[in-house]
Amino acid sequence: MLRFSSFAGSLSAVMLMTSTALAQVPPDPANPNEAVPEKATYVPYGPTIKLDQAKKAADAALAESTKRGWPMCIAVVGPSGDLVYFVKMDDCQYASISIAQHKARASAKYRRPTVVFERLLGRGPFFSYLATLDDVIASRGGNPIVVDGKIIGAIGVSGGTGSQDDLISQAGAASMK
Amino acid sequence: MKTRPMLTLEDCRRISAAAEAEAKRNSWNVCIAILDDGGHLLHLVRMDGASPANARIAMEKGRTAAESRRSSLVWEERIKAGRNSMLGMPGITPVQGGLPIIVEGICVGGVGVSGVQSHEDEQIAAAGIKVLG
């Protein structure tokens, strides 16, 4: 208890010292994140994907992987990122079981393809903050499933290169359009 | 060198379809998870109306059965009999509804089901495994 209070005391002292400094952080014209967009652009969420729809999207992705001879894991989630359907193809690497789910979850929760994170992180240090956001995965292969202009879920694919994963994922997402 | 049977995607599809049919026949909305003998997820189906929690629980019941090579009910009954220390076993979800998949006397994985009463969950898992003969 004594140790905790002394720690809290030193912490508040640090905060006092820095709070004035924080208010004075000048804008950095070199940082593209300083711009304040007028509008919020997003695709609205719809109802949670039905199992039949999830199977249809995953089967389209599975057919494309089978045709190309790429062993993949395919995960389909609802708008909140909760798992609805999952398949692991024979000989797919073990790591992809969780990566496929992660890509699908991140794509649904952030309402965008995971390639967006990959591209922005590649653009340099002003975008490295993205890696600090909850549950981000900066690797392509996760794509939202959009029906009637609304996001009903997302599909995540892992097992090959990022580009192979994304091709399969997009084939799955496109089957719902 | 020893060789042993291993679940394929085709096996998982057959198991899952039979389990889902058993659930549908009873108008039960459940999640059905199939894992290999190391507890790695191979196949999962969450039927409409089953909750996100059902997906997590189905996976954990299946993992319990696959990794311990016995029904998750065995764990539940041990604890019920007073062996409370079993609650601390790593990776074990001691709730009925997870069954091991035994082929040629070898555990090749497990099926976990969650969504209805535990004995009904197990009934669905058993119906799935039955298709392997």
pLDDT tens digits along A113-157: 999 999 999 999 999 999 999 999 999 999 999 999 999 999 999
Residue B5 scores a pLDDT above 50: yes
Residue B109 scores a pLDDT above 60: yes
Per-residue model confidence (pLDDT) at position A15: 46
CB contact under 8 A, B44 and A83: yes
From residue A169, alpha-carbon distances to A35, A111, A159, B16, B62 in Å are 32, 15, 11, 23, 27
Residue A1 scores a pLDDT above 90: no
For residue B108, name the pLDDT band (cuts at 50, 70, 90).
very high
- Mean pLDDT (chain A, rounded): 91
Residue A13 scores a pLDDT above 90: no
Residues B35-76 have pLDDT tens digits of 999 999 999 999 999 999 999 999 999 999 999 999 999 999
Identify which of B87, B78, B101 has the alpha carbon closest to the alpha carbon of residue B12: B101
Of the residues B11, B13, B48, the best mutation for testing chain A's interface (the one with the most A CB atoms within 10 Å of its CB) is B48
For residue A18, name the pLDDT band (cuts at 50, 70, 90).
low
Average pLDDT of the residues in A37-61 = 97
Contacts of B11 in chain A (CB under 8 A): none
Contacts of A89 in chain B (CB under 8 A): 9
Contacts of B41 in chain A (CB under 8 A): 86, 88, 97
CB contact under 8 A, A86 and B8: no
Burial class (CB in 10 A: 0-12, 13-18, 19+), B98: buried
Which CATH code is given to the segment(s) A51-174?
3.30.450.150
Distance CA A142, CA B120 (A): 35
Average pLDDT of the residues in A16-42 = 82
Residue A3 scores a pLDDT above 80: no
For residue B133, name the pLDDT band (cuts at 50, 70, 90).
confident
Distance CA A128, CA A158 (A): 23
CB contact under 8 A, A94 and B40: yes
3-state SS, one letter per residue, for B60-126: HHHHHHHHHCCCHHHHHHHHHCCCHHHHHCCCCCCCCCEEEEEECCEEEEEEEEECCCHHHHHHHHH
Per-residue model confidence (pLDDT) at position A133: 98
Instruction: Give this complex's ipTM.
Output: 0.96
Contacts of B8 in chain A (CB under 8 A): 90
Residue B91 scores a pLDDT above 90: yes
Residues B18-37 have pLDDT tens digits of 999 999 999 999 999 999 99
- Mean pLDDT (chain B, rounded): 97
Identify which of A63, A146, A73, A123 has the alpha carbon closest to the alpha carbon of residue A103: A73
Residue A14 scores a pLDDT above 50: no
Record: fold of B9-130: Beta-Lactamase (3.30.450)
Residue A6 scores a pLDDT above 70: no
Per-residue model confidence (pLDDT) at position B9: 98
Per-residue model confidence (pLDDT) at position A11: 47
Residue A38 scores a pLDDT above 90: yes
Burial class (CB in 10 A: 0-12, 13-18, 19+), A45: middle
**Which residue of chain A is at minimal alpha-carbon distance from B11?**
A90
Which of B12, B40, B46 lies nearest to residue A85, judging by beta carbons? B46
